[in-house]
Structure 1
């Protein structure tokens, strides 16, 4: 296993042995209307719903989504699929607190409005220009289009709850931050 890391103040010289096997499994976004958000992430970004977990006693539901690869073998058994889901990398968890969809004035803070906090999630795409056309065709709201600003090879779009999604084409990122 590689111990590579770039150097910056605060970075440990080596990964702690006690953290061996730790994996970033998912990031969570709270959503007002799960049907609208699931439609967005599955129709626009091609994500698949791996697992839906209901918690009636606490009145919320969790939806775990990912981009599956052709070689991925998702277990059919619900318990095995739950274990498999929590062993993956880079999933998106959408959390729906029941009843929010019925309140027309309810909205989550997107993290980019004041006071700033959470910033965005990111998808890499094979072709930024094609992805931009796809987002336009799907009626996705842009925060920043490619070709604009100080980072012309990056786009930002919004999901139904106003969360920002960065869009990058990996081979256009060389030279960033220099």
Structure 2
């Protein structure tokens, strides 16, 4: 889904597109579609934080459990194949499928160190 510039911040919406042409939709149609569907992840980029020397970053919640944001998860059809692709793209891992007792999941790290859990899609449509 496309980004939406809101002035001091930009919103990015990640979702399955189901073949829709969002560029051809009016802003009202995009908003209706965006918020009436499954699995939308909204990311916010606050302009200026990347060049602010005093910006200490956001609390991930992973270093201090129970506080702040923890992590997001995404479902994939095949965890092993997805992890092989992440590996080929140079993505850093927190946990690979073969690590630990939970063999059917993985955790990758985004560029800021936030955890993204990779889980199998149990319901294939």
Structure 1 residues 146, 65: CA separation in 2 closer, same or farther (over 3 Å shift)?
same
Aligned length: 119
Task: Give 2:59's match in structure 1, choosing from 109, 119, 140.
Answer: 109
> Alpha-carbon deviations, 1:11-64, whole Å to 9, x = none?
xxxxxxxxxxxxxxxxxxxxxxxxxxxxxxxxxxxxxx334141x3xx222222
1-side partners of 2:121 and 2:13: how far apart?
A: 25
Question: Alignment partner for residue 157 of structure 1, among 88, 102, 108?
Answer: 108
Whether 1:66 and 2:15 are equivalent positions in the alignment is: yes
How far apart are the structure 1 equivalents of 2:5 and 2:36?
Answer: 16
Give the TM-score normalised by structure 1.
0.59
Secondary structure of 1:122's partner? strand
- Whichever of the two has the greater Rg, that structure is 1
Give unmatched runs, 5+ long, in structure 2.
none
Residues 88-99 of structure 1: pairs in structure 2 closer than 5 A = 88-99=37-48
Q: Return 74-83 or 155-164, whichever deviates more.
A: 74-83
Q: Which of the residues 50, 54, 58 maps onto 2:2?
A: 50
Among 67, 73, 78, the residue aligned to 1:122: 73
1:89 shift after superposition:
2.2
CA deviation after TM superposition for structure 1 residue 107, in Å? 1.8
Give the TM-score normalised by the residue count of structure 2: 0.81
**Closer, same or farther in 2 for the Cα pair 1:68/1:114, shift >3 Å?**
same
Unaligned runs of 5+ in 1: 1-48, 172-178
1:156/1:142 CA distance change after superposition, 3 Å: same
Q: What per-residue deviation string (whole Å, max 9, x for no partner) do you get for residues 112-158 of structure 1?
A: 11254332111111111111110011111100001111212110001
Query: Distance between the aligned counterparts of 1:61 and 1:84, measured in 2?
Result: 19
